[in-house]
Amino acid sequence: MIRTLRLGVNIDHVATIRNARGGRHPDPVRAARAAAQAGADGITAHLREDRRHITDDDVERLVAESELPLNLEMAATAEMVAIALRHRPHAACIVPERREERTTEGGLDAAGNRDALAPMVRDLGAAGIRVSLFVNPDPIQLDAAAELGAPVVELHTGSYCDAEADDVRDHELERIRTAAAHAERIGLECHAGHGLAFDTVGRVAAIPTIVELNIGHFLIGEAVFGGLDGTIRRMRALMDRARSGTDDRRGA
């Protein structure tokens, strides 16, 4: 059975460009509308504790105005849980966050933080918010996510995308494949994301138990050259080709 593979467009770095001058352009809500027109299935936005890009106002307007469901990425803090409960996005993805990091560096340690995460997962789920945990492709973390009651995990694809040597990239991809199969076995919906680009998306999209890819930084950067609509459509086409098995590089 070939499962549908959804594309979630992360619009964080539209806000990065806007915030560079402190104005209102470009507007992440307009980017969300454009993503919908280009065939995206959802919008992802990371409200960081330091608000370096997405702001509280962006979240409020995205929930109110975006025609696509919002996947709110958030740190595991009481502040972020309260914000999520106030805005009620379609989904919330709990991600690790360090103020000094340039971007997300690793996956959430679900196995090592069960006591803190359990009430957050419970309260978000009770509010009708689909909860996912952003974790490294590690079966131990997947088991912990399932025990916490999270229905979804998002596998961190950064090590695969950042690998320079072919053997390292192949090893990291195998970790993702193994984790995606494990997720299926234990009843977790499996997503993936971080660092995906035109040259890396195909082999991840070809993994049949992954049902959603969240992609942002590369899309926004590439849109500088090819426009957001065309860039999203090309990413969508690469995903569909790999998923259908017609991409001869997918197994490379």
Ligand X SMILES: NCC(=O)COP(=O)(O)O
The H or E element that residue 244 is part of is helix 228-244
191 is in an annotated binding site: no
Q: Which does residue 26 touch among ligand X, ligand DXP, none (CB within 5 to 8 A, set by kind)?
A: none
Q: Which does residue 62 touch among ligand DXP, ligand X, none (CB within 5 to 8 A, set by kind)?
A: none
Task: Label the pairing between strands 210-215 and 6-10.
Answer: parallel
Q: Which does residue 196 touch among ligand X, ligand DXP, none (CB within 5 to 8 A, set by kind)?
A: ligand X
33 is in an annotated binding site: no
Q: Which does residue 107 touch among ligand DXP, ligand X, none (CB within 5 to 8 A, set by kind)?
A: none
The label of the residue with tokens 């933080």 reads: 113
21 is in an annotated binding site: yes
**Closer to ligand DXP by Cβ: residue 194 or 236:** 194
Q: Where does the chain show beta strands of DSSP type E?
A: 6-10, 42-46, 70-74, 91-94, 130-135, 152-156, 189-193, 210-215
Q: How far is the CB of 73 from ligand DXP (least distance, A)?
A: 5
Active-site residue, selected from the candidate residues 87, 156, 191, 194: 194
Instruction: Tell me if residue 25 is catalytic.
Output: no
Active-site residue, selected from the candidate residues 73, 97, 172, 212: 73
- For 167-191, give one letter per residue: b (16+ CB within 10 A) or e: eebeebbebbbebbebbbeeebbbb
Strand partners, 72: 45, 92
**Closer to ligand X by Cβ: residue 44 or 141:** 44
Binding stretches for ligand X (CB under 6 A): 10, 44, 134, 154, 193-196, 214-218
Give the Cα separation of 7 and 170 in Å (integer): 23
- For 27-42, give one letter per residue: b (16+ CB within 10 A) or e: bbbebbbbbbebebbb
Instruction: Tell me if residue 73 is catalytic.
Output: yes
195 is in an annotated binding site: yes
**Closer to ligand DXP by Cβ: residue 50 or 115:** 50
Instruction: Tell me if residue 194 is catalytic.
Output: yes
**Closer to ligand DXP by Cβ: residue 45 or 144:** 45
Give the Cα separation of 51 and 65 in Å (integer): 20
Residues 83 and 49 sit within 8 Å (Cβ to Cβ): no
Active site amino acids: 46, 73, 194
Annotated binding site for 3-amino-2-oxopropyl phosphate: 10, 21, 195, 216-217
